[in-house]
């Protein structure tokens, strides 16, 4: 994935979107990128009932919401380059299209997002990292990354270390290694011996983290091997975290699912901000950087 040219945030005038706007403005400033504030409007009736005058009114209302978001972002971060973009259509689809060259997409979400909400649908479809900012999220604390040796886990580690370097935070790489149903053959047999699981999975975790430690020596990082299912391990770690970073799917995902079960559970129930990073972002550093 090529580096992005901006940070994109979805804004609809709600309190949740104002929190997302503040996060995104800080993210853009730290990354030295412009901020693109997006608002998606749409005519709420079937096309057969379209009213051109009414549509123009609805569009103008959307433009007013967008203008307010742009003004708010500029007030939050004076000197930051802020652009507004009015989008047409369902928010998640419009944001995916608008963020084709974004570095990060930021949206607001409730403590437990409703089924079908933008906070849940956007990470399923985006090919860029999506940060969902929560109302009760902490402004301080460590950055937790879900690590399991998969490409998605590697993508999560890379994003977590990058965020930690930008924000001066520490990283905790968490591997919930007790998931017998996700493996087969030798992996399944391994779960008859908890000590063997700890040895093998612990070594895997250290190998996964090592390249990122080499690339970001300024980041204070630790590993945490938890003999629990990954969902429980990450949700427990999220209780004191500022951000939890997960890949779109791990070693136990089903191909038919756009988002892995662990990632989906963390996205729904973590009390802090959650970043979902697509696997195509994966790629370990060479160690010579």
Average pLDDT, the chain: 87
For the segment 148-162, the average pLDDT, to the nearest whole number, is 94
Question: Quick one: pLDDT at residue 289?
Answer: 43
- CA–CA distance, 217 with 219 (Å, rounded to integer): 5
Question: Quick one: pLDDT at residue 257?
Answer: 45
Higher pLDDT, 141 or 8: 8
Sheet holding 35-41, edge to edge: 82-88, 35-41, 7-10, 104-108, 130-133, 273-277, 241-247, 142-146, 171-176, 221-226
Reported as a pLDDT band with limits 50, 70 and 90, residue 256 is very low
Residues contacting residue 280 through CB under 8 Å, at least 6 positions apart: 1, 127, 155
Question: Quick one: pLDDT at residue 272?
Answer: 94
- CA–CA distance, 23 with 135 (Å, rounded to integer): 12
Instruction: Give the residue extent of every domain in the chain.
Output: 1-135, 137-282
For the segment 60-67, the average pLDDT, to the nearest whole number, is 94
Question: Quick one: pLDDT at residue 253?
Answer: 43
Question: Quick one: pLDDT at residue 185?
Answer: 44
Reported as a pLDDT band with limits 50, 70 and 90, residue 65 is very high
- CA–CA distance, 272 with 131 (Å, rounded to integer): 11
Helix (H, G, I), strand (E, B) or coil at 101: coil
Beta strands in the chain (DSSP E): 7-10, 35-41, 82-88, 104-108, 130-133, 142-146, 171-176, 221-226, 241-247, 273-277
For the segment 221-228, the average pLDDT, to the nearest whole number, is 94
Identify the DSSP state of 129: -
Fold of domain 1-135? Rossmann fold (3.40.50)
Question: Quick one: pLDDT at residue 89?
Answer: 84
* 8 Å CB contact between 17 and 132: no
- CA–CA distance, 24 with 89 (Å, rounded to integer): 22
Fold of domain 137-282? Rossmann fold (3.40.50)
Please check whether the two domains, 1-135 and 137-282, share a CATH topology.
yes
For the segment 197-205, the average pLDDT, to the nearest whole number, is 87
């Amino acid at each position: 994935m090529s580096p992005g040219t901006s940070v994109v945030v979805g804004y609809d005038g709600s309190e949740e979107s104002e929190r997302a706007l503040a996060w995104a403005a800080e993210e853009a400033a730290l990354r030295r990128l412009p901020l693109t504030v997006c608002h998606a409007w749409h005519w709420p009736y079937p096309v057969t009932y379209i009213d051109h005058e009414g549509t123009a009114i609805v569009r103008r209302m959307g433009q007013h919401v967008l203008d307010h978001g742009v003004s708010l972002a500029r007030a939050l971060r004076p000197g930051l380059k802020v652009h507004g973009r009015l989008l047409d259509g369902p928010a998640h689809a419009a944001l995916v299209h608008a963020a084709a060259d974004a570095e990060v997409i930021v949206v607001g979400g409730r403590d437990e997002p409703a089924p079908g909400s933008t906070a849940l649908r956007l990470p399923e479809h985006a090919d860029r990292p999506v940060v969902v900012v929560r109302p009760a999220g902490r402004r301080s604390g460590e950055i937790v990354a879900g690590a399991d040796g998969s490409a998605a886990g590697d993508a999560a580690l890379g994003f977590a270390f990058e965020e930690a370097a930008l924000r001066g935070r520490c990283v905790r790489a968490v591997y919930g290694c007790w998931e017998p149903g996700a493996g087969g053959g030798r992996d399944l047999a391994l779960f008859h011996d908890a000590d063997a699981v700890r040895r093998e999975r612990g070594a895997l975790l250290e190998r996964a983290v090592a390249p990122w430690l080499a690339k970001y020596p300024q980041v204070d990082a630790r590993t945490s091997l938890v003999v629990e299912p990954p969902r429980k391990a990450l949700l427990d770690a999220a209780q004191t975290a500022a951000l939890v970073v997960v890949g779109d799917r791990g070693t136990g995902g089903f191909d038919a699912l756009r988002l892995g079960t662990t990632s989906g559970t963390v996205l729904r129930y973590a009390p802090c901000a959650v970043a979902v990073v697509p696997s195509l972002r994966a790629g370990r550093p060479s160690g010579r950087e």
